[in-house]
């Protein structure tokens, strides 16, 4: 089973990074493969929240369902992503760092059908894509005015 892990330091407070990432509707802002996301459950974001997303995969749209399975604001966020070709279980952790927030990710990918044979390739591609996504998140969040400053305007989410 392919596994993808990594970490990045983002120059923003832990709660701000956690809240932005926990709301999957923000992902199209920093992930160019994410075409659309909608929240499909009612209420505040937390355990059991589901999002339906469309991503670009091998040049074609692919629908996925993301469910928050562990929501411990502001330190831990876990979800399960289901597609026709794989199930992905992931955990993000957030901790204070002298430069902002240390965010770590760990994803376990369970490919189905013919994709099982492509596990080594999936792992290599996934590591590159995740590193690029989180670097984009870092650039996005760090380019925003700090919360609470006159020029910050509305919250990031």
Q: Where exactly are the structural domains of the chain?
A: 3-144
Q: How far is CA 42 from the centre of its chain?
A: 20
pLDDT of residue 154: 46
What tens digit of pLDDT does each residue of 28-54 get? Answer: 999 999 999 999 999 999 999 999 999
What tens digit of pLDDT does each residue of 68-86 get? Answer: 999 999 999 999 999 877 8
pLDDT above 80 (res 152): no
pLDDT of residue 20: 97
SS (H, E, C) the chain: CCEEEEEEEECCCHHHHHHHHHCHHHHHHCCCCEEEEEECCCCCCCCCCEEEEEEEECCEEEEEEEEEEEEECCCEEEEEEECCCEEEEEEEEEEEECCEEEEEEEEEEEECHHHHHHHHHHHHHHHHHHHHHHHHHHHHHHHCCCCCCHHHCCCCC
Q: Which fold has domain 3-144?
A: Alpha-D-Glucose-1,6-Bisphosphate; Chain A, domain 4 (3.30.530)
Q: How far is CA 42 from CA 15, 48, 54, 61, in A?
A: 22, 10, 20, 25
What tens digit of pLDDT does each residue of 109-131 get? Answer: 887 775 554 555 555 666 788 88
Report the side by side order of strands in the sheet with 3-10: 3-10, 100-111, 86-97, 76-82, 60-72, 50-57, 34-39
For residues 19 and 15, give the distance between their C-alpha atoms in angstroms, rounded to a whole number.
6
For residues 130 and 105, give the distance between their C-alpha atoms in angstroms, rounded to a whole number.
9
pLDDT above 90 (res 140): yes
């Amino acid at each position: 089973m392919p596994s993808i892990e990594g970490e990045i330091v983002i120059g923003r407070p832990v709660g701000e990074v956690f809240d932005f990432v926990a709301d999957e509707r923000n992902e199209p802002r920093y992930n160019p493969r994410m075409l659309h996301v909608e929240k499909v459950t009612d209420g505040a974001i937390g355990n059991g929240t589901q999002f339906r997303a469309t991503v670009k995969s091998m040049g074609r749209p692919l629908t996925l369902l993301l469910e928050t399975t562990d929501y411990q604001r502001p330190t831990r966020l876990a979800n399960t992503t289901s597609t026709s070709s794989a199930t992905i279980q992931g955990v993000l952790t957030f901790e204070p760092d002298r430069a902002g927030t240390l965010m770590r990710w760990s994803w376990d990918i369970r490919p189905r059908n013919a994709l099982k044979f492509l596990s080594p390739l999936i792992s290599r591609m996934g590591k590159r894509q995740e590193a690029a996504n989180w670097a984009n998140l870092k650039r996005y969040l760090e380019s925003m005015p700090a919360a609470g400053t006159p020029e910050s305007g509305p919250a990031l989410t």
